[in-house]
């Protein structure tokens, strides 16, 4: 019996490590997506061929045909008029690699999944979770094309709403994979949790929600280019509360489209995230947690401070590409660290 349990645990660890590797691949995908957006390469491929688009143009004739297709759309006419074929190749290959990495993720998920399923390593509780991951991955690809289409119609820029939805789904997929992987590595303990553990768990999940909301706010800031305004801190061009707040009508649209309101909201959410996580760290640290839980909240506190420094630096330096990418990387790392801390809050300090 012990031999069977040991074998099952080993199989679970293997599946968990595979899911963690998938998390890393999705994390890299988010960074590639950020690089693609910041280099204005995302609209260079004007068609979607999810099954047949594995190869880029290989001949001069194919490159010229792709360039001719690109010249039919607003970005070329309004932003890149007169660009050379070599310049087009550069932005095309950035977007091509972005899409190629998405396809590689799909294969890296599907092939091991089929193998694990055929070997009987996927039980009835795990199977629906893996299927949900696969479906969400496919939806993410479709959502990416839906986002790109918004920049191929009238304006040479993608919809901020669709951009934010695309980012949100990527982060959600990574978080779901991470949570399932951690559950396979450290199964939940039996027995009822104490009242103090339940409180810590609820606060930790509140932090997860706050970080995720701040990421959504950051997506809207990026989609509306709001980071290029008010490049001072802690005030916004010398004002604590800018007069330009809520300049649009109706009122609700300011939270999604007004540059001043978007940046103001993102600052408030970011400050609330830093304050909330540091307060949670100080409170939870006194609970006599396990070494793993202490490590999780220590890393969480360190990550939120680094992310705050990256955000302020990105703003003050007017969104330079390297810092903007690091800030996006830090946001996803912070979300992952917050999720890990919430996972570790499942247990009482005694380990129950």
> What residues make up the domain containing 41?
1-187
Residues 150 and 73 in one domain: yes
Last residue of a domain, one of 137, 170, 187: 187
- Encode burial over 117-141: b for 16+ CB neighbours within 10 A, e otherwise: eeeebbeeebeebbeebeebbeebb
Residue with tokens 């609820």: 202
- 147-205 pLDDT tens trace: 999 999 888 889 999 999 999 999 999 999 999 999 999 887 666 778 888 899 999 99
Residues 202 and 237 in one domain: yes
Task: Tell whether the model's pLDDT for residue 3 goes beyond 90.
Answer: no
Residues 89 and 170 in one domain: yes
CB-based contacts of 77, cutoff 8 Å, min separation 6: 71, 156
Residues 180 and 229 in one domain: no
Residues 312/213/225/227 CA torsion (nearest 10 deg): -10
In order, the DSSP letters of 298-324 are: HHHHHHHHHHHHHHHHHHHTT--HHHH
Q: How far is CA 300 from the centre of its chain?
A: 17
Residues 86 and 2 in one domain: yes
Residues 51 and 154 in one domain: yes
Residues 337 and 281 in one domain: yes
Residues 93 and 181 in one domain: yes
CB-based contacts of 182, cutoff 8 Å, min separation 6: 16, 340, 343
Task: Tell whether the model's pLDDT for residue 61 goes beyond 50.
Answer: yes
- 76-87 pLDDT tens trace: 999 999 999 999
pLDDT classification of 66: cutoffs 50, 70, 90? very high
Residues 34 and 156 in one domain: yes
Please tell me the total count of domains within the chain: 2
- 241-266 pLDDT tens trace: 999 999 999 999 999 999 999 999 99
| Higher-pLDDT residue of 50, 235 | 235
Last residue of a domain, one of 133, 160, 187: 187
d(CA 239, CA 348): 46
Residues 120 and 169 in one domain: yes
Residues 3 and 147 in one domain: yes
Residues 114 and 47 in one domain: yes
């Amino acid at each position: 019996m012990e031999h069977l349990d040991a074998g099952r645990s080993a199989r679970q660890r293997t599946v968990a490590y595979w899911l963690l590797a998938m998390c890393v691949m999705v994390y890299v995908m988010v960074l590639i997506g950020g690089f693609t957006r910041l280099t204005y390469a995302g609209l260079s491929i004007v068609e979607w061929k999810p099954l047949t688009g594995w190869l880029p143009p290989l001949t001069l004739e194919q490159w010229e045909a792709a360039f001719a297709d690109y010249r039919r759309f607003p970005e070329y006419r309004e932003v890149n008029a007169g660009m050379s074929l070599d310049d087009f190749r550069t932005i095309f290959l950035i977007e091509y690699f972005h899409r190629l990495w998405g396809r590689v993720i799909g294969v890296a998920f599907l092939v091991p999944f089929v193998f694990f399923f055929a070997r009987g390593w996927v039980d009835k509780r795990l199977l629906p979770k893996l299927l949900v991951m696969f479906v969400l991955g496919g939806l993410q690809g479709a959502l990416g094309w839906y986002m790109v289409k918004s920049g191929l119609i009238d304006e040479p820029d993608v919809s901020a709403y669709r951009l934010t939805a695309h980012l949100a789904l990527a982060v959600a997929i990574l978080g779901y994979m991470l949570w399932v992987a951690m559950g396979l590595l450290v199964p939940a303990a039996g027995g009822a949790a104490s009242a103090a553990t339940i409180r810590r768990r609820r606060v930790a999940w509140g932090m997860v929600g706050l970080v995720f909301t701040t990421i959504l706010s950051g997506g809207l800031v990026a989609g509306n280019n709001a980071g290029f305004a008010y490049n001072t801190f802690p005030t916004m061009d010398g004002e604590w509360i800018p007069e330009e707040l809520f300049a649009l009508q109706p009122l609700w649209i300011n939270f999604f489209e007004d540059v001043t309101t978007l940046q103001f909201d993102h600052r408030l959410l970011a400050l609330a995230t830093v304050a909330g996580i540091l307060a949670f760290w100080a409170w939870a640290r006194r609970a006599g947690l396990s070494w793993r839980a202490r490590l999780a909240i220590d890393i969480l506190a360190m990550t939120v401070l680094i992310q705050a420094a990256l955000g302020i630096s990105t703003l003050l330096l007017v969104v330079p590409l390297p810092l903007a990418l690091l800030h996006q990387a830090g946001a996803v790392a912070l979300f992952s660290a917050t999720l890990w801390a919430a996972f570790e809050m499942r247990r009482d300090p005694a380990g129950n």
